[in-house]
Amino acid sequence: MSILDGFRPVTEVAADERSRIAFGKAGVHKDDRYAVSINSDGAILLTPLASIPKRELLVWENEELKASLFRGLADAAEDKTTRLDWLTEDENDDDE
């Protein structure tokens, strides 16, 4: 198995005077985030990341909560929702 299995050459780049490398030809865009890994041969692997707020991490760590959330989103997409007036009762009291 080669280190390049599953990869295709895109271009050759050179680091600038500040050791930066441009990856635009590889499809990288402004504000894209990557985990950077390096192996013993010096090969660098960039793995795309999607950052989420820490307060939302609970959803991804709790399978039961994640499944419930996805069920709710699916129900909403199919217009299978029920109005919960008790959630907005306090807001309506201010109007009186």
What residues contact 71, with CB distance under 8 A and at least 6 apart? none
pLDDT in tens, 25-76: 888 999 999 999 999 988 888 999 988 899 999 998 999 999 999 999 999 9
Which residues sit opposite 46 in a β-bridge?
Answer: 36
Asked whether residue 22 is domain-assigned, the answer is no
Asked whether residue 77 is domain-assigned, the answer is yes
Domain of residue 81 covers 54-93
Asked whether residue 47 is domain-assigned, the answer is no
Helix or strand (DSSP H, E) at 54: none
Tell me the helix, strand and coil percentages in the chain, rounded to 5: 35, 10, 50
Question: What tokens were used for 14?
Answer: 């050179």
Asked whether residue 89 is domain-assigned, the answer is yes
The span from the first CA to the last CA of the chain, in angstroms, equals 73
Question: What tokens were used for 13?
Answer: 């780049």
User: Nearest 5°: phi and psi at 36?
Assistant: -110, 125
Write down the pLDDT at residue 66. 94
**How many domains is the chain built from?**
1
pTM for the model stands at 0.52
